[in-house]
Amino acid sequence: MTDLHFSVDDAIARMAAGEEIAVKAHRATRWFKWFVFLQAAFALAFTLSIDVATVPY
């Protein structure tokens, strides 16, 4: 069980790394909802152009 003990410096470094990872993850997912909305709008426009406007595929 001695391998489960961390020094204070190691614990501080792990906490800092965890916070940095959380910031990067938030930055990566910040625009995801807009990407999904834009993708849905393109899919709707494509469907309407094919089905309603009878644009040839």
- Rounded average pLDDT per 10-residue block, the chain, 57 residues: 75 89 88 92 93 79
Q: Are 41 and 34 in contact (CB under 8 A)?
A: no
Q: What are the structure tokens assigned to 32, written together?
A: 């995801």
pLDDT at 4: 73
pLDDT at 38: 96
Nearest-10 Cα torsion for 33, 37, 42, 44: 140
pLDDT at 44: 95
pLDDT at 11: 83
pLDDT at 2: 58
